[in-house]
Each structure stands twice: as structure tokens, then as C-alpha cells.
Amino acid sequence: MKTASLQGPAPASAPGPFVGLLISARPRQWIKNFAVLAALVFAQRLRDLDSIERALATFAAFVLCSAATYLINDVADRARDLAHPEKRLRPIAAGALSVFVATLAAILCASAGLALAFAINTPTGIVVTGYLALQAAYSGFLKRLVIVDLFCIAAGFVLRVVAGASAIAVPVSNWLYVCMLLVSLFLALGKRRAELELIDAGSHRENLNEYSLALIDQLIAVVAGATIVCYSLYTMSAETIAKFGHDRLKFTIPFVLYGLFRYLYLVHRRGAGAAPERVLTSDVALILDLGLYACVAVWAIYLR
């Protein structure tokens, strides 16, 4: 096939098709899909079995749809991935997984994810359809547009939150929407910064030439500051106090601050921003911080 020359030679110990598909589906990145559970937690539905089932089904739908987008993205970027020190080892770029098998698997995953989303309810199905459309547009041309590419990444997280809220039929809080937007922009900027440091920007993605470390650092400072202010105002707002009956959620602020500071430390001193999902599942300090945040948040939201 002509695509073989684009993919490069397969490694000597190339995985089989099933393992190659699993690797290309990025199981570690499925952690992003936990954003669909945000509405479940903050809408105080953790005691409602039906809401839990719907939220978990939405999570599963996004796992399938996100796996499909990763596969299609790897097919589209197989030539560029060869210029990246890590991405060149991906099964499709390395020639260990054929374009045909990857494309077929992506179609099946997307179809199953959409079917599951519409089975939950129509609004959830519409949101998941919008997510797939956004990812298709991003892989096709939006990722080449400077700044726009960052907002596309952030929109993917926001759509997960909206889908989670739609599944359990609760409105999306304005505070939750803004906080998720800011946090996802923060992670996207960290990823771009790492890419600029690690690789020849122009050889992998054209629009990286439009960024600079100085610009990225300025944007990170703006977004990090806005995230802290927005979340702090949310925890102490009259709306939040009226909803939960107290202002105890403010005690989660130190954990949010530490999480942002720790992540910035890892980005600047350890060059860890290229894979946020890897950082969030391997850095002991961050894992402990997230665990403590969850404990305090559950105490604040659910215990009277």
C-alpha cells in the first residue's frame, strides 16, 4: 500500500492488531472523560442510582467516541507523527496497525458511542454528536489555526460536562462551565509549551511556529489566575451557599491552588506538560491532592 511509506517500517516487536488498536485508543487519556461526572457530583446526585447509571453510560459513550477520534487523528497525522520523538512509535505511524483496520474500528466505536448516547436521551446524543463534529473539524483544519486550536481542546471538555448534565437532566451551572473552560485551557497551554520545548515545532504541526514560550507563559499566567479567582468566587458565592446551605466548599480552595502550582512546577521543571493524563495518573503529589480535594468536596456538598 502507498500508505506504508508514510508510516515507516514497523518495529521488530510490533504489537498485533488488537493491541495496536488498544494502544491507539489511548486508555490513559480516558481520564478526560471523567469530566462528564462533574454535574453528577455538584448537582448532589451521588445518592441517586438512576443518575449514576446515566452518568456512567455517558462516560462509556465518550470513551468510545474519544477512542474513535484518536484513531482517526492518528491516521490523518501518521506522516507528521514520524517527526515527533514519542508519537513516531504509535502503531499507525510505525506501520504496526493498518489504516484500514484503524478506520474501520473508528467507525464502529463512533457508531456505538452515538447509539449509547441517544439511548440515554436525545439531548445527550446531540451533545455527543457535536463533540464528534468538533473533533472531525479539529483534525481536519481547526488545529492549524493559532489560538483557535486551544479553544477547540477546551470545548471538548466543556461538551463532556454538558453531556453529563444532559444525561441526568440538570442545568449546567455557569460557574461549572467557566471553571471547566479555564482548567482545560490551562492544560492545553501546558501541552503546547511542552511541544515547543521538545520538538522541531514546524516539522510536526505548522501552527506551533506561531507560538513562543514567552507567549504561552503569558497566557498560562492569565488563565491560571482567572481559574483561581473564578473557582474561589464560586465557592463563596450567594448562589453556592444557598444551594448547599453553608460555605464549606471554600475549604477546597487550597487544594485547587496546590494542584495548579504543582502542575506548573512539573511543566517548567520536569517538562511534563506534553501528556497531562500521564501526569495526573503518575505524580504522587497530584494524586494525593486530588484525593484530598475529592474528600473535602464530598464532605462540603453532601454532609449537613
Render 193-226 in DSSP notation, one character per residue: HHHHHHS-HHHH-GGGGG--HHHHHHHHHHHHHH
Q: Which residues in the chain land under pLDDT 70?
A: 1-15, 81, 83-85, 199-206, 274
What was the pLDDT predicted at 200? 53
CA 38/CA 31 separation, integer angstroms: 13
164, 131 contact by CB (below 8 A): no
CA 238/CA 223 separation, integer angstroms: 24
Torsion over CA: 182, 187, 188, 194 (sign): positive
CB 202: neighbour CB atoms within 10 A? 11
234, 151 contact by CB (below 8 A): no
Tell me which CATH code domain 15-172 carries: 1.10.357.140
What was the pLDDT predicted at 1? 37
What was the pLDDT predicted at 103? 87
Q: CA dihedral defined by 138, 140, 148, 40, rounded to 10 degrees? A: -10
For Cα atoms 34, 136, 97, give the angle at the middle one, nearest 5 degrees. Answer: 85
199, 165 contact by CB (below 8 A): no
pTM: 0.85
Residue spans per domain, the chain = 15-172, 173-304
What was the pLDDT predicted at 65? 95
Place of cell 474500528: 105
What was the pLDDT predicted at 9? 45
127, 166 contact by CB (below 8 A): yes
The residue ranges of DSSP E strands in 106-231, in sequence order, are: none
pLDDT digits over 222-268, tens only?
999 999 999 999 999 999 999 999 999 999 999 999 999 999 999 88
